[in-house]
Structure 1
Amino acid sequence: MSVTIRRSRDTESAVRRAVPLLVADRVATRLCAQDATLWGAATGATARISLGWTPAVAAARPLIPEILALRDELAAAGISHIVLGGMGGSALASEMIARTAGVELTVPDTTDPDRVHAALHDRLSSTALVICSKSGETIETDSQLRAYEKAFVDAGIDPRGRIIVVTDPGTPLEGSARRAGYRVFLTDPRVSGRYSALTAIGLVPAGLAGADIQQLLDEAEAITPDLAVDAIENPGFILGAAIAATNPLRDKLGFIVTGTRAVGFDLWAEQLITESIGKRAGGLFPFTLAPNAPELDAREAMHLPDLQIVRLVDDADCYEDSRPGDIIVSGSLGGLVLLWEYASVVAGRILGINPFAQPDIDASDMATRALVQVGSQPVPPALTSERIEVRGSADIVNDSHTLKEAVDSLLSFLGDDGYVAVQVYADRLAFPQLEDLRDSLATKARRPVTLGWGPRFLHSTGLYQEGGSAKGVFLQITTTGSTDLFIPGRPFTFEQLLAAQAAGDTQDLLDQGLPVITLTLPTPETNLTHLMAALG
């Protein structure tokens, strides 16, 4: 077996209760047969068109020679820098594969103008752009494509030799890409984005960047027989039961990477689980934690019985630094990817959640599209403290006179089973100190805290925050960028799009009656110091 799972006494009881039922119901056999009734008769329609990922390894094999041939073709043309335009599962999988392989893949998965501007001016003469969008209509990806097309043309470079598109057949993106003469890789429409790591979505960008995608598929293939058998040793059954069958349910799932070679796996798993079994009440809320996060050492003091820790390590059999309730997992990257894909759908069956249900368009996305079409004016701040503008829920900001009072008021709405979501609409590479802010907030709130970068988190943990249990309080941070860029062919700029996405997200939270404050930092480097002080 290419993966190892160690569970504590607490999760072992969950495994012993749930796994025999999964075996008796022949869940593995039915999953491999793409039986859409596994999650109930009423969910059959959506599941039936979403199970194409189960034979993904075999289906991906013919892609390898084509990807490697294109990589050689690009290298012969002097192209050594690969940029990936994608969001959510269409970006996180390739980024994880490339980082684990130790090869460079630039992923500006944002609409922040400073970050996009920096990417556009980074080795453009030796750059190829891979655009990944299953739907072919993702607004962030479309904006990045338009920006790169113009940049190539302005530099006298023919985009036809520099742009590769990965999308489902029949999408608007496929049509426009073929008309433009771009290289197109088609994906299986029966595989949703979050289950597409071992398809063209994950393999094309990472493979072109230099990752050994053949080995990745070999690793996944090695674990396939263990996942396909109805037995109590099935690792997909064990892991699915460990995360979804605890009694009471530990619905906060904290991922910690400790020395594992699977770099970025926690971020990929976070979006896989959220989009599959975290998008409705009763589901799981996954989030990433640093190895020294306050939630760990103070679990008992903070009284966090609803927090389950999953540690991703190099060798689970040799790992000793665990706590009661921890799940320890190790394995090769390909094996881990397939394991967690199986475990997520098994967990969905246990929780009674269809992992393939997909809302047409979430509320914040609709609000964003409306705002960028008609334009928007910022709401006047309720107060300004240390040059930080504060807006948000009336019952929070109207009674606050300082930044500290506003933050304290927000946290007062936090329940015993709640969490704090920090949503940052800024360049994620420019402000690493925000991880310290997350830790300070966790210490102050004494509850789990998740930090998400907008708009990326809208395709991941944002789905739980908007559609899951109403347990969160929300601290949104926006900044004023130093650069702005027009989006060719659009009546708005990247800065306007990012602002609209933040405003749309806020409005959706307010419409649901959830506690939220938005802090606008005109000079982030200075303002962050004041914000840290407000957290005590």
Structure 2
Amino acid sequence: MTDIMEASGGLSLTTRLDVAAGVERLRSNDVSAKVLAGDSTLWGPEAEEEASIRLGWTDTFDRSIDLVEKLSKVRAELAEQGVGHVVLCGMGGSSLAPEVISRTLDLGLTVMDTTDPGQIVAEIGEESLRRTVVVVSSKSGSTVETDSQRRAFEAAFASVGVEDWSKRFVFVTDPGSRLESLAEEQGSYLFLADPTVGGRYSALTAFGLVPTALAGADVTALIKEAQDFRASIEGSPDNPAVLLGAVIAHQPTITIADDGTGIVGLGDWAEQLIAESLGKDSKGTLPVVLEHPAAPGARGTDRVYTTVGGASDGLAPGGSALAVPDAAVNGPLGAQFLCWELATAFAGHLLQVDPFNQPNVTESKENTNRILDEGLPEAEPTAVDGDVEIYGGQGSTVAAALGQLLVDASAPDAYLAVMAYLDRFDDKAVAALRSELSERTGAPVTFGWGPRFLHSTGQFHKGGRQTGVFLQITGAVGEDLEIPGKDRTFGTLQAAQAAGDAQALKGRGRPFVRLHLTDRERGVNQLLSAVRELS
């Protein structure tokens, strides 16, 4: 089956899948029109209260246009001071959309969604600090990672003699939060976001637009793309968002790759949107972000292989049939954001889950806070192999531990999640584990940087289908960094987050192995060598 649908907003979805049943359910229930109208009853009575205050994203861009004039003024004021390097401190919904916009438009925005001390030290120690503005984004204003990063930058600005450093901060938050009060107290720039929009649906609110506008993005164009897309689908039950909703709900797993035609990194944003929205009640669709269209693990009888891009001919004839995805979503970035948000909400209707809550996200946070209060748990490695300590699992070598995880992942409906609490720049080579493991198992394999993934796939790990197999990777800390005003370091916080998540996963009785790299560079090489030894 081939079905091509185009909207006047310039976005098209092409699919070879037979998703007629899902599309018909959405059409017959008039789901598209009801969501656009703000109907909160579509996901059942238990979800209605939450949905009633979380549907602002369907037209939030109409209000976001009011941000443009103030953003232009702030950017001009910073430029007069020679400030042009933008650092974003945020997690999950506060950072992933800005990262996609920045990568797609090649803005050079630095995203700090980590607690790894090496990554933070590298940023606050750079000569560019004197020309840096820090955007601190948090809906609640109390996100531990973001608050810790803010404190580190405050101290760094003071240490290099930046005068009036309070003007080097731009706060993005919900009305009434702790950050709003702090901004008013110290005289920092403040942008209030739309409180009727949840974090993962906030791409076209102040959370997505403020840091990228300060970095040079034409956010008016993004807003116009979303407006055009919405206008093109209003009153039409046959539209790309409806088809994409049926595609997302079609199989237990959706794999996503950039097709190379202009959109960069959308899969990382869509991963959070889908995993956190649909991974609950022991069901949901697992998103897997692929490195490129030909990456291992793209296809399988249990998954839908999807590409995204800016061109409009993602399934054009020609080339190898094996390279043709099951579905292709092509069009401008602003339209992409709205289409995927709508489609995820529609998929929630089909799967009968509430797409707006995240009931299991706080579990690891609570474990982390308890560990920070009581101290890191003491543990002896099961075995030591070269530069790697092995905790849990079976076997005395890294190869044996990885081999057992692949055996565990061969169970029906299983997936393998690799979770690396490391520096995603200096230790980036470890990400190759996803493709290497995918070549050796029929199960879906995901990769996430900790604690970044806790605000994304972390919900699916705990609330989605209980078939996960988990590999956690931690590493020795070289130069640690105190968190100003707190009785702990970033290294301690990172270790507590890893330990807290481990407790949550092991408490569910799922296969879990932690590999600790006593030397990061040599340890990463050892991991990659070990997995390549496996058949």
Q: Which runs of 4+ in 1 moved over 3 A?
A: 318-325
Shift of 1:281: 1.9
Contact residue 278 and residue 348 of structure 2 kept, 8 A: yes
CA distance in structure 2 between the partners assigned to 1:510 and 1:440 by the alignment: 25
Are the structure 2 counterparts of residues 457 and 361 from structure 1 closer, same or farther at C-alpha, using a change threshold of 3 Å? closer
Q: Secondary structure at the match of 1:273?
A: helix
Choose which of 420, 423, 436 in structure 2 pairs with 1:424.
Answer: 420
Residues 339-418 of structure 1 correspond to what in structure 2 (within 5 A)? 339-359=339-359, 362-392=362-392, 396-397=393-394, 400-414=395-409, 415-418=411-414
Contact residue 11 and residue 332 of structure 2 kept, 8 A: yes
Choose which of 88, 92, 102 in structure 1 pairs with 2:92.
Answer: 88
Choose which of 23, 27, 42 in structure 1 pairs with 2:27.
Answer: 23
Question: Residue deviations 1:303-341, cap 9 Å, x none?
Answer: x31111111134342644554761011100001011101
CA distance in structure 1 between the partners assigned to 2:24 and 2:363 by the alignment: 40
Choose which of 41, 48, 64 in structure 2 pairs with 1:44.
Answer: 48
Contact residue 287 and residue 461 of structure 1 kept, 8 A: no
Contact residue 26 and residue 230 of structure 1 kept, 8 A: no
Shift of 1:373: 2.1
Contact residue 136 and residue 173 of structure 1 kept, 8 A: yes
Between 114-123 and 376-385, the greater mean CA deviation after superposition = 376-385
Residue in 1 aligned with 2:12?
A: 4
CA distance in structure 2 between the partners assigned to 1:202 and 1:449 by the alignment: 28
Question: Residue deviations 1:88-146, cap 9 Å, x none?
Answer: 01001111112211111111210000000011122111000000001111100000001
Shift of 1:360: 7.4
Residues 203-218 of structure 1 correspond to what in structure 2 (within 5 A)? 203-218=209-224
Is residue 2:143 matched to residue 1:138?
A: yes
Shift of 1:213: 0.5
Contact residue 282 and residue 468 of structure 1 kept, 8 A: yes
Is residue 2:155 matched to residue 1:150?
A: yes
Between 38-47 and 193-202, the greater mean CA deviation after superposition = 38-47
CA distance in structure 1 between the partners assigned to 2:90 and 2:144 by the alignment: 10
Residue in 1 aligned with 2:463?
A: 467
Structure 1 unaligned regions, length at least 5:
none
CA distance in structure 2 between the partners assigned to 1:124 and 1:345 by the alignment: 41
Residues 65-80 of structure 1 correspond to what in structure 2 (within 5 A)? 65-80=69-84
Are the structure 2 counterparts of residues 322 and 75 from structure 1 closer, same or farther at C-alpha, using a change threshold of 3 Å? farther
Q: Secondary structure at the match of 2:235?
A: coil
Shift of 1:402: 2.0
Are the structure 2 counterparts of residues 290 and 361 from structure 1 closer, same or farther at C-alpha, using a change threshold of 3 Å? closer
CA distance in structure 2 between the partners assigned to 1:29 and 1:385 by the alignment: 58
Q: Secondary structure at the match of 2:57?
A: coil
Q: Secondary structure at the match of 1:107?
A: strand
Is residue 2:96 matched to residue 1:101?
A: no
Residues 162-173 of structure 1 correspond to what in structure 2 (within 5 A)? 162-173=168-179
Q: Secondary structure at the match of 1:356?
A: coil
Question: Residue deviations 1:48-77, cap 9 Å, x none?
Answer: 011111111111111111111111111111
CA distance in structure 1 between the partners assigned to 2:309 and 2:42 by the alignment: 31
Contact residue 316 and residue 328 of structure 1 kept, 8 A: no
Contact residue 139 and residue 173 of structure 2 kept, 8 A: yes
Is residue 2:223 matched to residue 1:237?
A: no
Q: Which amino acid aligns with 2:403?
A: D
Between 253-262 and 20-29, the greater mean CA deviation after superposition = 20-29
CA distance in structure 1 between the partners assigned to 2:455 and 2:26 by the alignment: 30
Is residue 2:187 matched to residue 1:181?
A: yes
CA distance in structure 1 between the partners assigned to 2:157 and 2:397 by the alignment: 48
Shift of 1:361: 5.0
Are the structure 2 counterparts of residues 473 and 496 from structure 1 closer, same or farther at C-alpha, using a change threshold of 3 Å? same
Is residue 2:448 matched to residue 1:446?
A: no
Q: Which amino acid aligns with 1:105?
A: L
Are the structure 2 counterparts of residues 487 and 19 from structure 1 closer, same or farther at C-alpha, using a change threshold of 3 Å? same
Q: Secondary structure at the match of 1:189?
A: coil
Q: Secondary structure at the match of 1:267?
A: helix
Question: Residue deviations 1:366-406, cap 9 Å, x none?
Answer: 111111122214411111011310112xxx34xx2222222
Contact residue 474 and residue 517 of structure 2 kept, 8 A: yes
CA distance in structure 2 between the partners assigned to 1:240 and 1:69 by the alignment: 39
CA RMSD of aligned residues (A): 1.6
Q: Secondary structure at the match of 1:131?
A: strand
Question: Residue deviations 1:161-193, cap 9 Å, x none?
Answer: 100100011112211222122111111211001
Q: Which amino acid aligns with 1:109?
A: D
How high is the TM-score relative to the length of structure 1? 0.93
Between 32-41 and 126-135, the greater mean CA deviation after superposition = 32-41
Residues 312-331 of structure 1 correspond to what in structure 2 (within 5 A)? 312-317=308-313, 319-320=316-317, 323=322, 326-331=326-331
CA distance in structure 1 between the partners assigned to 2:233 and 2:498 by the alignment: 41
CA distance in structure 2 between the partners assigned to 1:145 and 1:512 by the alignment: 34
CA distance in structure 2 between the partners assigned to 1:72 and 1:325 by the alignment: 44
CA distance in structure 2 between the partners assigned to 1:88 and 1:231 by the alignment: 31
Residue in 1 aligned with 2:525?
A: 529
How high is the TM-score relative to the length of structure 2? 0.93
Residue in 2 aligned with 1:309?
A: 305
CA distance in structure 1 between the partners assigned to 2:415 and 2:188 by the alignment: 45
Between 199-208 and 17-26, the greater mean CA deviation after superposition = 17-26
Question: Residue deviations 1:471-512, cap 9 Å, x none?
Answer: 111111111122110001111100000000111111111111
Is residue 2:224 matched to residue 1:223?
A: no
CA distance in structure 2 between the partners assigned to 1:216 and 1:515 by the alignment: 43
Residue in 1 aligned with 2:285?
A: 284
Residue in 1 aligned with 2:254?
A: 253
Shift of 1:407: 1.8
Q: Which amino acid aligns with 1:238?
A: L
CA distance in structure 1 between the partners assigned to 2:305 and 2:361 by the alignment: 31
Structure 2 unaligned regions, length at least 5:
1-7
